[in-house]
Amino acid sequence: MIGSLIVLLVVGAAVAGFAAWMRQSRPEPSPDATVERAQPRRVSLLMEAVGYIGTILVLAGAFAFAQQHWRDLSEGGRLAVLAVATLVFLALGIVTWSSAEPALRRLAAVTWGVSVAAFAGSVGMVNILVDTSGKTSFLTIATTTAAYAVILWVLHQHGVQQAFAFGALCVAVGSIVNYVVTDASGWMIAVPLWALGAAWAAAGWWRRISPWFVAFPLGLLLALITPASIEHPSGLRFGLGIATAAAVMALAVIARLAPVLAMGAVGGLGYVIGAVTYYFGDTLGVPASLAIAGLLILAMAAAAAHWGWFGHRRQRPDGHHQRPEAGRRGRVRSTTRQP
């Protein structure tokens, strides 16, 4: 439980950092954003931290109460506790979500995210009271929670809110496949999740989802990870993973996005190593050939960076930049401006 929470926090921090980089590197000036940037901060960072500390203390008290007295409560009592928590955090978000202050909007997104988690627990308790089967219970919890999270995200289009909605949608897709298909294999769930991630990233890239700088890394991360969830090593796992990593790296080169290039390179490295180990683990020729090819590519990249190939601008000893430009008769002429 603690390990999963740590992994979730690390992934969330990585996505948040990537989203912040995307927002700064590709800003979208708009009247609302200009007005928001022009307004002075009315709520200090200290007060925002106090709000988060209050939320953490409430959650810590709730978990401590659950650990000590949860078994003593009846199923109806447990449902009442989770329902009250859902409504309380929903009300806290309603108080602050319509504010123009960024700090209050972030606090509203966090409280509504906690409300989504409590709502999922409430639906689970309802299924226990009704005594539904395993697949039906999983389906109802996942789909209703996803609907609740998406509604909150539509009302409050914040990055944190979108992350909760996206995660709930991923669980809902898996529950639908698990309910429809009897004894569903891993690839039957992985492929729809991969399609969801690719579509989410594309919608974010084309500004169809707000905020786009959160949707884009979330979709890419899901599309890169889901092929690895296929339980048995197969051509589908390695082929889909390598193709996705290659597409991500190509997009990064075209759009000049360094973090996206790093994501694609790390994903491609994992899938290529897995494929080589699985298919050619007993031989030496193929791994050695791949290593030699990789060294040649690295040497070519270093040479291109050093000598300024592919139209890279070079700096002369006098401090001026020189860019090659074709003349009228095909000759190369310098466009250096004299001081």
* pLDDT computed for residue 6 by the predictor: 47
* pLDDT computed for residue 42 by the predictor: 60
- Amino acid in position 232: H
Question: Where exactly are the structural domains of the chain?
Answer: 56-308, 309-339
Q: Give 284 or 215, the one with higher predicted confidence.
A: 215
Which pair of tokens denotes residue 149? Answer: 């999270």
3-state helix, strand, coil in the chain (%, to 5): 75, 5, 20
pLDDT tens digits for range 50-62: 777 877 787 777 7
pLDDT tens digits for range 168-184: 999 999 999 999 988 88
Average pLDDT over residues 302-329: 52
Helical segments of the chain, H only: 2-25, 31-38, 45-69, 75-97, 102-130, 134-155, 159-180, 186-205, 212-225, 235-255, 258-280, 285-307
pLDDT tens digits for range 178-223: 999 888 888 899 999 999 999 999 999 999 998 888 999 999 999 9
